[in-house]
Each structure stands twice: as structure tokens, then as C-alpha cells.
Structure 1
């Protein structure tokens, strides 16, 4: 966190960008102008030259005969990647000079300083460029976003794998002011993958799986090869991908048993898609649900959605599971404690209606409905409103029409038809809010358009009442 400094010690954000320019540009063959006049023109020239150099380098690495892939796959891109060097360049700056730009400075503290909380060190290394770029790209100011783009390119050019992977994403999706360019995306993904970056290895696998008319060949064996490299690093997404390749037969003969093994590995690490594939896939895989349950509960904070899903299977007797209310409740409780709103709502319902072996307990019901409501669960909002409306939970939710209306309207603002109807009802009959038939009609119209028959009846009654009053 940036220390709070007196306003007199702060400088502008423009000074910050110019200071970083001085550090970064020392690596550039172009020298910045000594005066500030014409500075913006200089930076445009510097960026244009840098982009031109990058385009030339990428062109050299992608132009092949007869096709792009042969050069990219057979030639080690690692050999062409600039190695990280220690430039010996550093500049110790007063932290107050950073002005109002909201940047986390902890990675830049100079721990040798007697006052490290107020002094930082900028080292011209690729990881520093990358870290700054991540923060600058989210700035609302275009000049900072473009500067972040420059830093991503420089960090990637210095061989920093996370920055290379980032460029792959940017060129693939057209992010951070980069054009969409599949060939550039592939090159940067592969440069990062050659350094063992697991995300990049899987991205390379994806490009080989689909191919692209812009010079990227489609090769299922190579797709499988790169996915295998990522999976061997213990990454759940890659393990799921490898399971899918074995299940379908991509790059290798179809093998359901191997698919099951990879899915189980990925599911045990919390991969939602792997678990759902095991549970609802139509490939005849036999699954040890007890094993999955134990694996998920062991790391419930990372898998609340999956735990909730498995609880539903136990409760609803789906996919051949033996009904087990105790197991279902245990799973719902674990998911709710991990702050998963649907599970919190379900736990509230268990305590309100006494289901899944629970004794009715309004206090616990209000507690869990409240947790779900805080997380925006619309059914939890309405259920909690019901307790405030009738006061049946005693001190846990004392009767309050005003609080009931607040909760109902919060659900209505999320576009829930039932909540829109109830909001209109509250406004029509002045429950917790001043009577307002005109606004009530507006809410009834919204609910009616979504098929709520009760809203249509209330509209007719209001129209008749209005006509009678006018007459």
C-alpha cells in the first residue's frame, strides 16, 4: 500500500510517467530529448520504432517455407529470445514522487534503505516492467494504458515468460490496444511455453488443435503433446484437457480409462469442468463418488460450487446415487461456509422447513438467508423479507415492513419477476413505504411482461379503481 504523504510532498502523475520513461529509455538506442519540448512527439517515435522492431522480429520468426508451423516448431524460439541481463541500472526515488497514481510499491522497495517505507528502487528488469504494465493497463487514462502496452512488449522481449504469455493473450483477443493476430499470438505463447510456462503450453495446444488460416497448421498430435507437458506440471486445467483428449480421441486413440484418471486428478484439484464431466458425461465412466466427496471436502474453500453440485446429486438421487440426506446436508453446509450463496440459501431453507434431517430453527434460517442475501442471492432476499414481514424469528428478525420492502426491492432491481410483483404490492398497499399506485403500476407492468398472472390481475383492479375514482 502506498504510504499516505502530505500533499505538499506529492508530485503529479505526469512526473511519475516521465520518471519511468527515463529508466526504461536507457535501454533504448534512441536518446530522449534533453528538453521537455517536443517530448510527446519523441515518445510517439520511440513507440513506432519499438513496434517496427517487434514486427520485424516476429516476421522473421513466422515467415517460413512452405508454412508457418515448420519454422515455429522445428526452430527453438528460446535461442532467439533475448536473455535477461543485469543492466546494473537502478534509480532510488522518494516514494512521495509517485503522486496520485494508485500503484502497489511493495515489490519496488529498497530494503537496504534506512527508511524503506518511503524509498523505492526501480531496476530495469523485465519483471519490473511487467508488474508496472499490469497496473497501468487498468488506468482510465489512455496514455498510461499505451505506456503499459510498451512495457509488456519490452518485458517480453527481454525473455520474461509471464509477459510473453500476456502478449499471446493480447494478440489472440485484441486486448490492451493490440491488434488481433493469431500468428503473433502463437509465437509469443510458444516463447513462453519453451520456458516451461504451463498456461502457455496449454495455449499452444489450443492453437494446434484448431489451427488458423493465417499460417497456423492444425495438428492433433502436437496439440496432445503440448497439453501433456502442461498436465505433467500438476495443473488442473491441463489435466482436464488431457482427459478430454483421451475421452474423444484427440491426438491419441480413445481411452476412457485414461480419461477417467485425468478427470479424477483434475477434479481432486478443484477443476469444476472435470467433476461435471465425470458426473454428467455420457461416456459410461464409473465414478467413486465417496472419493470425490472426500477430495472436495478436503479443500472446500476452493470448490464451493462443486460441493453444492454434488450435494444436489445426493439429495435428488441423480446419476444412480443412493439418497443420503446426511451427506447432502454435510456438503451443503461446507459449500455455505465457503461463502457460496446458493448453498447459503439452501441451508436457510433446511432450517426454515426442517428438511434434510434438520430441526426447524428460525434463528439459523435467518442467519443463512442473511448470508445469501448479502451475496446477492435473490431467493434469499425474498425469504429473509418474509421473516421481517411476519416477525416469526423473534429477535433474529424483528417485524419490520420497512426492512421487508428494502429486501424485496433489492431483489426486484435484479429483474426477478416475483420480486417485481411483490414490490408493486407493497407500493399499492403502503407496506413499509408510502403508498404510490403509479409506481406500483410500473412494477406490475414489468412483472406482467414476464408472465406473472397475479400482476396482470392487480393491474386490472387498479385500472378499475382509477376509472371509478375519475367517474
Structure 2
């Protein structure tokens, strides 16, 4: 086009030197009324400007001045100018409007407002816009009042949002003048919030003249037809609007062609882009963004076309398109071929200046989570709160994450986090739905709300196809949380998630099959799904660990301890801390290809204990308590055992019960034992300790019946000490009727597994035929086992056997020897026989 200033001055010179009068020039241009070629607009502008310079104030000049600003003519004339020309063009338009404002022509305020409101970056000025509208309204200009009403309705350009007041101001002009501009603004305002096609049609019917006679706002009519899926009528409406010079109809037509909506009508992408070009040339800036966007992200899924996309995005960004600015910011910050962090921040800051809500959240993300930008938590929080106040769905989710992770305060605030996650969920944010579901399922703030968790997860699946929600809901179905257990549906949900590439589902399927939720346990299938998670391109650490467990114990296939250890070590490298426990046990036991190494066992167990794994804390506490490759350290042992207790370890509770019951501390206090044993029982673990507490009233009221019950349950779990105590209950009638047959059964069961005290009773009962057929010789064999282990009762009874010759050859000397040993070990009956305790001969 050349230099605007040169051409413009040429037009001024031509008008000044032409034989035709300024009025004739004005009449000719008014008659043509065609500014598709910007040069014609420049000429008309020159006529008006020259008229002001020579004092020409005819009616024709005023009409021509108004025509300059009709139908986006002014904006169109400057859209394609280069930077230098645009600056000169802007200054000349600004000056012409200033002159008319000084002449008292109130409408010039509205034209000056349009110039600043739709200006390029560096020229657009919101403060001046507000000042012009306020002055224009005071001067009585209808257009200014319409524009001001629109600004108040949407809360822009420094005006506080007030829908009612905005509508009132525009309606007042419409009622007084019946002008198309006021009617069109009212139509836009009223239809913007319509949620249903019925609502939209009811409003359209109120504006029949505007739409069908004056041919304005045809894009609104097209919108209705699009909603009711009558695309043919939508095309008809848009074409009619285009014929009547509507930039918005060009925009909507172009958009719907390039996004494929109107493909069935034979329109090509090139035609759609041509419509968009027209729309952009007449000031519909979003059309430029759409051009760039569909070059970047073609509907057919083809390759990104940066060569064509970037000029459009930059052109739209020049006119302050927040969407284009944000897209350019993202390319500059994240795309390797266009990476320019500094430029990306400039684009992003400009989008924030435009009060673009998505830009608020992107900048907040950059300030919180982008490693190449200095962190600024207060500013990020401010931006997120602004975005949240404007209805953004991501902002409350990210704020919730911040309060959860103590980014905004010294400590985590889970209650506030839950409120924000719920708000994000209400706004249909998937991450918010997932986190709100999680908080409600696990009761991070209050008691678990399983119904609410299920509702969130179901919605996440239905609206977003969330695989996280599928797996969480499936886990609830497996466990019967808040609903009837349904392993079949759970299996289906796990498989759906796995088919979508959500590898964690394979782990859960492994558990489902191993634990037999669908019937019989299927270890082969379990191992298969552990392998899916462990052997993929991105191995899941927990799956690697459980596959190691399969090799360690031969679950669902071959047993291979060396392979198991390799997998445990891989799981640890991938960050699965629990694997420390298995590696520690391998060193403790000398298995899985490792030689026994207490120091390594302690090292790995310590790491796991420090990480908060309660079993490791229990084991480490036991190491200290019993002196595993170290001196006994009761204080350190008790510390780790109590950490495990606090973490819910029933094994640690049993050990702490023993700690008090059997008097590990110098100043013995027995009563606390009961609460520890009771805690373990509530978690499904029981040993003889709880029975002893009930039998002897340690920390609880004495109750032999409960003692018997506890011994019975503990014996069923395989505790030999409990089986021995249960045998005593039957032998002496403690909490149950005497039953020497049952007593003998249980005594012999544990005696044969090495329980010396039980062996003594077995010997006594066999010798005397009490509860079992008499077999003195066999009985003596048990008595000898127990007597050799310093069991005083067995020593006393063995002495009796030697004295009487029962099951052994009679021998007074051997009888006296065993009486002496029994007496030395505190047996009162033996002491009576030999006259008191005797010291053992050395």
C-alpha cells in the first residue's frame, strides 16, 4: 500500500487543488458509500480533515464524517497497515475526532471510543475509553450511552459489573430512538445467557424487525438454527447477513466451514478461510485467531502448519486477541522449535492485561510449576483467585492443591482444599472431581462421605471418561464401600481403564484375581497382570514389586529367588520404598541370592522405617529390643515400636503388649499391656497375651471365660504359647470345663513342636494315664526333654518315676538327683522332700 502518510497527503492535496468543491466531493463519496478499498476511506477522511482546516461545516461534510465510522469502515481502513502507517493513521483519525469533539459534536466521543477500544497493542487504552464514554454520555450522545451500558453489563473498561443497570441504559435508548444499534446490543445481551433453544427463540421473536427487515444480527438467528441442528437454515441466515455486510456472519460462516460443520453443503476449507479473512479485515479479531488455530490443529488431525498459523496468530495478537496471545505464549514457552521464554512471558503478560481468565491460570501455573521461571507464590495465588472469582474451573482445583501441599500457608489446610476441590467439581473440572472424590472416599477432612465420592467418580466416568475414576470406583466396588460389593463390575471398570492405557488398573486386576474376589483365587492370572504393569515401556514400580513377590513365593508360576531380588531392587530404583523391607528380610534370612548380613538388613529396614512403613518400624523396633546384631537398646526399640503402633501395626501392638506384660523395663508396669493387646485384637491379631491379661486381671477386670476365648482364637492363628495356655484351661478348668483329653491333645501338639513346658505335662499325663492311655515309658521320654531344659515340674515328676520305677529302672540316687534339681529351680514339693532348696553343685 505504500506509506500511508504520503498517500494521505496526496489525497489532501488533490482535494485542495481540485476544481470540485468539498461539498461535491462529499456528495460523490456519500453516494458511492463503498469503502471496501481502504483508499476510498482515506480520501473521504482527507475531505473531512481538510474541511475542518478551512472551516467548512456543511451538512454533507457531517454526513460524510459519520459515514467514515459506519459498518466498521474506520477499523477496516487500518487493519492491514504496517506499523509506521498505522501510527500515522491512528493519529490522523484521533485528530479528526478531537476536532469534532471540540466543535461540540457529541457523536465524535463514540467514534473516538471505538478507535481506542479497537486499537492495536500500544494504542488501545481502557482508561481513555471510559473517560470518553462518560463525557459522551454527559453530552447526551446515544451511542456513548449504548456502549457504556454494554461495558457496565459485562463489567469491563473500569466499570463495575451490573447487568440490570447495563440493560437499563441500553433499553432507554432503544425505547427513545428505536435505533438499530441499541436494538442489536439488547439482542446480544439477552441472547448471550440463553441456555435453551426455546429461550433463544422467544427473544428472537421480540426482534423480528431488526432481524428480518433491517437484516441486522443474522448471526443470532443462525445460532438458533445451529442449536436446533437445522444447518441449512443456519447457512441461509448467514449468507443473508453476509450479503448485508455483517462481519460477524462472515466470521461464523468461516468458523463453521473450517471446523467441518458445513462440509455436507460442499464448502471447502479455502472458502471458509476467505470468509474469516473478510471478518478479520472488518475488525472481528477472533477470526484471525481461528485462522491460526486451525492451521495449528487441523480438523483432519494432520500436521501442524506453523508457517501459515503464526502470521495469523501474530496479526490477531497485534489487535490484543487474548486467545492468540495465549497460544503464542504457549508456543514460546513449551515448543522446542519456537522456544523463547522471555517472549512467551511478554505474550502471557499481555493476555493477563486483557483480563483473559485462561491467561490468569497459565501465568499462575508458570509462577508455581514452571522450572525456567522464578517462583512467585503470592502472585500466582492472586491470579488464581481472580480466575476463580470469574468462574474458572481450573483455578479452584489448583488453589486446592496449594492449600493441600502447604504452598500458601505454613501448614496444609485440608478443609479449605476440599472446599476448593468441590467448587472445581461443580464447575466441571475433571481434576477437581477426582480430588473431591478422593477426599470424600478417604475422609481427609471429616468422616468419609462414600455416597458423595461415588457420585463424583460416576460423573467423572460419564462426562470425561476418567480412568482414574474408573479405578477408584472399581476399588470401592471390590470392597463394598458405600454400595453392595460387585467384583464383576469392578473387573469391567479395571479392564476399561487398562484398555485406555491406564496401567495402574493392571495392578488392581492382579490383586482382584490373587485375592479371589471373583471366586477362587487365580494366581496365574494375577501374575499375568502384575507382569503387564511391570514389563511395559514405563514399568509401574508397585507392579514390579508384586511380580517380584510372585517369583519369591512361586505365586502363579515358577519360584525364582534371584529373579525376585532383581525385581525388588528394580522396584526400589523406581521409587517403591516398600521394597526395602523385602531386601532387608533377604539379608536377615540369607535368602534370594543374598548371604545373611545383619548390617545390610538393618540398613534397608531403617530406610523403610524412616519412610513410615509400619512393618519396617515394627521390625526395626524388634531389632533394638532383642539385640539383633547389636546391643539391646530398650529406649530405641520402644521408640520404633511405638511409631509402628501409631501407624496401626498390630504386630507392634502385640510386641508392646509383651514389653509390658513380661517386664522389659527395670521399673515394671504391667497394666498398659492390655490396651496394646486389645488394639491388636481390634485389627484381627491376637496372641496369648490378651488371654493372660483376662486370666490374671492385668489392666482389666479378671475374666477367665474371656481368657479361654482369647487362648482359643490365638491358638487357631498358630500361636504355640496360646495353644499351651488353652491346654492349661482344659487341664485345670480355667474358663471352661476340665477336659483332660482335650488338654493332652493341645499339650502334645505344641510339645512336639518344642514347647518344653507342654512336654512336661505330656509326660505327666502319659505316666499316669490321665486323659490318655497310660504309657509310662513314653511319658518319661517327654519328662526327660523338659527336665533337661530345667523345667522344675518335669524334674520333680521324673524324680518320682525313678523313685517308684515307673517307666524307668528304679533308682533312689537318680530320684534324689532330680528332686535336688527341681528344688533348686523353685519346686516347693521337691524342697519339702529334700529339706529346702539346695544350691546346685558346681
Scaled by the length of structure 2, what TM-score is found?
A: 0.32
**Aligned residue for 1:16?**
none
- Corresponding position of 2:266: 179
Answering whether residue 340 of structure 2 is matched by residue 340 of structure 1, we say: no
- Any residues of structure 2 matched to 1:451-462 within 5 Å, and which? 451-452=503-504, 453-462=506-515
Q: Could you report, residue by residue, the CA deviation over 1:138-168 in whole angstroms, capped at 9, with x for unpaired residues?
A: 324xxx5433333333332333333344444
State the partner residue of 1:408: 457
1:307 counterpart = 2:360: yes
SS of the residue aligned with 2:458? helix
Q: 1:370 aligns with which of 409, 422, 431?
A: 422
Q: Deviations over 1:417-454 (max 9, x none)?
A: 34322222211221100122222222233344432243
Unaligned runs of 5+ in 1: 1-74, 85-99, 111-118, 208-219, 231-235, 241-261
State the distance in 1 between where 2:275 and 2:339 align. 39
1:291-302 equivalences under 5 Å are: 300=355, 302=356
Q: CA RMSD in A?
A: 4.7
Equivalent position SS for 1:348: helix
Q: 1:359 to 1:337 in 2, by over 3 A?
A: farther
The 1-side partners of 2:432 and 2:404 are apart by 12
Given that residues 333 and 339 in structure 2 are in contact (C-alpha distance below 8 angstroms), is that contact kept between their aligned partners in structure 1? no
Query: Is 1:274 paired with 2:360?
Result: no
Report the equivalent of 1:60: none
Match of 1:351 in 2: 403
Deviations 1:394-439 (A, max 9, x none): 4xxx432222333333334443334322222211221100122222
Please identify which structure carries the higher helix content: 2
Select 1:431's aligned residue among 472, 481, 494.
481
The one of the two structures with greater contact order (alpha-carbon pairs below 8 A, sep at least 6) is 1
Shift of 1:237: 6.4
Change (3 A) 1:349 1:151: closer
- Greater gyration radius: 2
The structure-2 alpha-carbon separation of the partners of 1:406 and 1:172, relative to structure 1 and needing over 3 Å to count, comes to closer
C-alpha spacing 1:267/1:358, structure 2 compared with 1 (3 Å): farther
Instruction: Flag the 1:189–1:447 CA change in 2: closer, same or farther, 3 A.
Output: closer
Are 2:213 and 1:159 equivalent residues in the alignment? no
Q: How many residues align?
A: 317
Of the three residues 312, 315, 323, the one matched with 2:375 is 323
Distance in 1 of aligned mates of 2:293 and 2:433: 42
Is the alpha carbon distance of 1:200 and 1:339 closer, same or farther for their aligned partners in structure 2, counting shifts above 3 Å?
closer
Taking a change above 3 Å as real, the CA distance of residues 460 and 448 of structure 1, as seen in their structure-2 partners, is farther
8 A contact 1:169–1:185 mirrored in 2: yes
Q: Cα distance, 1:368 vs. partner?
A: 0.5
Partners of 2:345 and 2:258 lie apart in 1 by 41
Q: Deviations over 1:12-44 (max 9, x none)?
A: xxxxxxxxxxxxxxxxxxxxxxxxxxxxxxxxx
Shift of 1:329: 3.1
Structure 1 contact 267–274 (Cα < 8 Å) conserved: no
Contact residue 391 and residue 400 of structure 1 kept, 8 A: yes
Give the conservation status (yes or no) of the 8 Å contact 2:360–2:384: yes
2:315 is the counterpart of 1:238: yes
Give me the whole-angstrom Cα distance separating, in 2, the residues matched to 1:425 and 1:441.
9
For 1:205 and 1:400, how far apart are their aligned partners in 2? 47
Please state if 1:380 is matched with 2:411.
no
| 1:217-256 alignment, distance < 5 Å | 238-240=315-317
In structure 2, do the counterparts of structure 1 residues 326 and 167 end up closer, same or farther at CA, with 3 Å as the change threshold?
closer
Could you list the per-position Cα deviations for residues 22-77 of structure 1 after superposition, in whole angstroms to 9, with x for gaps in the alignment? xxxxxxxxxxxxxxxxxxxxxxxxxxxxxxxxxxxxxxxxxxxxxxxxxxxxx969
The residue that corresponds to 2:472 in the other structure is: 422
What secondary structure, in the 3-state scheme, does the structure 2 residue paired with 1:308 have? helix
Report if the CA contact (8 A) 2:289-2:323 is conserved. no
Partner of 2:214: 125
Q: Contact 1:314–1:328 at 8 Å: present in 2 too?
A: yes
Partners of 1:164 and 1:191 within 8 A in 2: yes
State the SS of the aligned residue for 1:137.
helix
Give the drift of 1:351.
1.9
Question: Whole-Å Cα distance in 2 between the matches of residues 384 and 153 of structure 1?
Answer: 47
CA contact (8 A) 1:267 1:292 kept: no
List aligned pairs for 1:35-46, cutoff 5 A: none
Unaligned runs of 5+ in 2: 1-35, 41-69, 72-196, 295-306, 523-842
Whole-Å separation in 1 of the counterparts to 2:521 and 2:332: 63
**Rounded Cα–Cα distance in structure 1 between residues aligned with 2:205 and 2:39:** 28
Q: CA deviation at 1:370?
A: 0.6
For 1:284 and 1:386, locate their aligned partners in 2 and report how far apart those are by CA, in whole Å: 37
In the TM superposition, residue 175 of structure 1 has moved relative to its aligned partner by 3.9
Match of 1:135 in 2: 224
Aligned partner of 1:48 in structure 2 is: none
- SS where residue 314 of structure 1 aligns? helix
